[in-house]
A and B are shown apart, each in its own frame.
Chain A
Amino acid sequence: MSSPTVLASPAPATGPATPPPAAPRAARRTWRRALRRDWQLYSLAILPLLFFLIFRYLPMIGNVIAFRRFQPGGSIFGEYWVGLRYFKMFLTDPTFWNVFTNTLVLGGLTLLFCFPLPIVLALLLNEVRARRLKRFVQSVSYLPHFLSIVIVAAIVMQLLSMDGTVNQFVRAVGGEETAFLQRPEWFRTIYVSSEVWQTVGWGTILYLAALTTIDDDLYEAARIDGANRWRQTWHVTLPGIRPTMVTLLILNIGTFMAVGFEKILLLYNPLTYPTADVISTYLFRVGFTSSNFSYAAAIGLFEAVIGLVLVLSANLIARRTVGTSLW
């Protein structure tokens, strides 16, 4: 959820992308013509393409080390084939199944709270008649989005420390002070609420934009039909922002598997591993603490493939059921 998300529809096809296979020579000729006409444009794409090839696609190929024996300092593509050894290793690794469950639970909880709450807040903001108040609330609620995750983690730690605000409150109501960050049963609450704190305001932006596009006549018609405010919201407002909701839901599902890696890395500790450790943090330790790069790469590849499958299926389901999709 930390990186901004995109709603633009990618890659509208521009004419036939592939020439008819029967005429390879004609194809070469049109390419030559395109190159002669647009070589300056293509030249602008060279550096960016190199970037994508080296820093995006090469690492994808680099995942072959998940199937090979890798030695630090050796070839970046590993030494020799070991087949599915590393995949079998994690499928029989009890820690892996624990972190897998944690990933699903944390991802699910994040989705459950961080997806609908911005919608609720946007609807509430939309009902505010006083312009200034509305803008003020908006500006304040965006603010946490701009903080570094390190700062957010540091603030969380301060608030939850033994002498921090939360424990002061616990003492005030007669409870016993707790080292919340050392307790596995508290980690999910801490993680999700800090995530809500940081993302809910920024998440309203797109909904607020969508809300302004709803035709006033629809409200008028609903009112004539005897709909009260609540029914107007239910029958006019919500359907009006449905495309935005679906698009953002798909994108949220796309980041499901990668749940807050950096934040968990900053907030967790061995005491909270039972609930805090997720696939990405586990593979980080396997890779950098135990220096088992091939095993860690296998876990990472597994995670990336599940993430891709999730976003593709969410997109497919959305297109079939509500007719909105990313592409």
Chain B
Amino acid sequence: MVTVEAVERATEVEPRPRRRPGIRQTRGYRVFQVVNAIILTLVVVVTLYPFVNIVARSMSHEAYIIAGQVNLVPRGFTLDTYQLVMSDPLFWTNYRNTVFYTVTATLISIVMTTCYAYVLSKKHLKGRSALVGIAVFTMFFSGGLIPNYVLVTSLGLKNSVWAIALPNAINVFNLLVMKAFFESLPVELEEAAAVDGLNTYGILLRIVLPLSKAIVATMVLFYAVAFWNSWFAAFLYMDRQELWPVTIYLRNLIAGATGAENIGAIAEADEVQAEATLKSVTIVLTTLPILLVYPFVQRYFVRGIMLGAVKG
């Protein structure tokens, strides 16, 4: 199985070059290398094309879009629809909600997950396997949509951030990743701290957490992305548009539920132009934050998921 060393090796910035003893560069293998390069280039192109296409559409003039002539570059460059969307107060309200929900829910999640993972990492603890089992079982069996909805509604959580944050406070995958990390910390440090008179809370706060900055950062990222991207909880539990996250704003746009009339300024703007580019513009504006931070945080995600793969 995958080991910690493998994770280190696979996530190193400059991994040490792997020695493949005596590879004969046969003709067949050289042909394969060329074919491989072509396939991988295609993978890159296919992955990136949709993004480029959406950006091109969002900045094109409606005539070219309707004629089906927009592919890789904007044609009849215009930013009118960007102005239109960005002047819609609801769009910004929903964006603010997304930020607020993400921050609140991530905070709750990280505290809960850290506490429980720390408890589960203590091998001597009586009843530990039961505590682990309680969490793991929920990965494979869940109450389902309807009982959850009934519960959240009857707890009176509707139309509040709690409906988004509380039902998803702990992700068991993240919990197990953190548990594995805490288990890998040297026991001697905590024992020494205990001898020095620190209690459990003190050890967790002053000894363990400072050593766990990397994993906590990874967990924050995991949770933040999940909450940033989520839409279904808000779709179920938020009745008023001023409470929606921006994902619901986009969802309603593509589902045609409210459509363009949602935007107050549309009467003054060119309606055909808006109709043709509104969705692309909104997609770009909602994807942008993720694209901007992605290059900087990507490595932590990879590290996190691989740490979770370390068995035992």
Q: Which residues of B contact A54 (CB under 8 A)?
A: 151
Given A48-B170, A148-B247, A212-B9, verify A297-B138 contact (CB < 8 Å): no
Report chain B residues within 8 Å CB of A178: none
The answer for the CA separation of A127 and B25 in the assembled complex, in Å, is 13
Contact A296 B145 (CB under 8 A): yes
Q: Tell me if A60 and B6 are in contact (CB < 8 A).
A: no
Cβ-defined partner of A51 (8 Å) among B112, B154, B248: B112
Q: Does A92 count as interface, using CB distance less than 8 angstroms?
A: no
Minimum distance in angstroms from A72 CB to a CB of chain B = 9
Q: Which of B1, B65, B145, B255 contacts A300 (CB 8 A)?
A: B145
B192 at the interface (CB under 8 A from A): no
Q: Are B147 and A47 in contact (CB under 8 A)?
A: no
B-contacting 9-mer, from A99-107, A138-146, A183-191, A270-278 = A138-146
B207 within 8 A of A: no
Q: Is the CB of A76 within 8 A of B22?
A: no
Query: Which one of B73-81, B88-96, B117-125, B258-266 is at the interface?
Result: B117-125
By a CB distance below 8 angstroms, the chain A residues around B5 are 213
Q: Is the CB of A283 within 8 A of B145?
A: yes
Whether A87 is near chain B, meaning CB under 8 Å from some CB there, is no
Chain B CB within 8 A of A13 CB: yes
Q: A44-B119, A212-B9, A303-B144 are in contact. Are A141 and B166 (CB under 8 A)?
A: no
Contact in complex: A11, B308 (CB < 8 Å): no
A206 x B309 contact (CB < 8 A): yes
What's the Cα separation between A13 and B130 when bound, in Å? Answer: 9
Q: Which residue of A lies closest to B150 (CB)?
A: A76
Are A212 and B283 touching (Cβ within 8 A)? Answer: no
What count of chain A residues pass the 8 Å CB interface test?
111
Cα distance A45–B48 in the bound complex, in angstroms:
44
- Tell me the nearest residue of chain A to B29, going by C-beta: A229
Q: In the assembled complex, which residues on chain B have CB atoms less than 8 Å from the CB atom of A313?
A: none
By the criterion CB–CB under 8 Å, are B36 and A140 in contact?
Answer: no
Contact A121 B254 (CB under 8 A): no
CA distance A208 to B150 in the complex (A): 43
Task: Check A209–B143 contact: CB distance below 8 A.
Answer: no
Q: Say yes or no: is B286 at the interface (Cβ < 8 Å to chain A).
A: yes
Interface string of A12-52 (1 = CB under 8 A from B): 11100100000000000011001000101110110111011
| Chain A positions within 8 Å of B66 at CB level | 163
User: Which of A3, A48, A51, A229 has the most B CB atoms < 10 Å from its CB?
Assistant: A48
Residues of A near B206 (CB, < 8 A) are none
B177 at the interface (CB under 8 A from A): yes
CB distance from B123 to the nearest CB of A (A): 6
User: Within the assembled complex, what's the spacing in Å between the Cα atoms of A220 and B23?
Assistant: 9
Which of B5, B70, B122, B251 has the most chain A CB within a 10 Å cutoff?
B251
Interface size class of B (residues with CB under 8 A): 35 or more
**B305-A51 in contact (CB<8A):** no
Q: Which residues of chain A have C-beta atoms less than 8 A from B7's C-beta?
A: 209
In the complex, which residues 132-177 of chain B have their Cβ closer than 8 Å to any Cβ of chain A? 132-136, 138-151, 154, 166-167, 169-173, 176-177
Return the CB mask of A219-263 against B: 1 if under 8 Å, else 0: 110010000110000000000000110000000001000000010
Contacts of B286 in A (CB 8 A): 148, 150-151
Indicate whether B295 reaches chain A with its CB closer than 8 angstroms: yes
Residues of A within 8 A of B309 (CB): 7-8, 206, 209, 244
A136 to B312, CA, bound (A): 31
Please tell me if the beta carbons of B311 and A9 are within 8 angstroms of each other in the complex: yes
B294 touches A216 (CB 8 A): no
- Checking A59, A147, A216 against B144 with a beta-carbon cut-off of 8 angstroms, the contacting residue is A59
Are B26's CB and A228's CB within 8 A?
yes
Q: Which residues of B contact A127 (CB under 8 A)?
A: 32-33, 36
Counting CB contacts under 8 A, is B189 at the interface? no
In the assembly, what is the distance between CA of A318 and CA of B212, in Å?
35
Contacts of A137 in B (CB 8 A): 40, 43-44
Instruction: Determine whether A1 belongs to the interface, using a CB cutoff of 8 Å to chain B.
Output: no
Q: Give the chain A neighbours of B122 by CB distance below 8 A.
A: 38, 41
CB neighbours (8 Å) of A319 from chain B are: none
B195: CB under 8 A from chain A? no
Neighbouring A residues of B1 by C-beta, 8 Å: 7, 210, 213, 243-244
Q: Does B82 contact A (CB under 8 A)?
A: no
Whether A58 sits at the interface, judged by CB under 8 Å, is yes
**Given the complex of chains A and B, what is the CA–CA distance between A151 and B282 in angstroms?**
9
Q: Are B65 and A163 closer than 8 Å at their CB atoms?
A: yes
Residue A173 at the B interface, CB < 8 A? Answer: no
Q: Are A148 and B230 in contact (CB under 8 A)?
A: yes
Report yes or no: B119 in contact with A42, Cβ–Cβ below 8 A.
Answer: yes
Which residues on the A side are within 8 Å of B154 (C-beta)? 76
**Pick from B28, B33, B68, B282: contact of A167, CB under 8 Å:** B68
**Residue B18, interface by CB 8 Å:** yes
Of B148, B199, B290, which one neighbours A147 at CB under 8 angstroms? Answer: B290
Among A129, A165, A300, A307, the residue within 8 A (CB) of B140 is A307
What residue of chain B has the Cβ atom nearest to residue A130's Cβ?
A: B37
Chain A 290-311 per-residue mask, 1 if CB under 8 angstroms from chain B, else 0: 0001001100110110011001
User: Which residue of the partner chain, among B69, B129, B170, contacts A17 with CB atoms under 8 Å?
Assistant: B129
| In the complex, chain A residues 165-209 whose Cβ is within 8 Å of any chain B Cβ | 165, 167-168, 171, 197, 201, 205-206, 208-209
Q: Which of B21, B44, B68, B177 contacts A216 (CB 8 A)?
A: B21
> Is the Cβ of B201 less than 8 Å from the Cβ of A40?
yes
* Extra A-B contacts (5), CB below 8 Å, given A56-B138, A229-B26: A6-B177, A11-B129, A56-B142, A139-B295, A219-B20
Top 7 closest A-B pairs, CB basis?
A59-B143, A62-B147, A300-B144, A148-B229, A40-B200, A48-B116, A34-B126
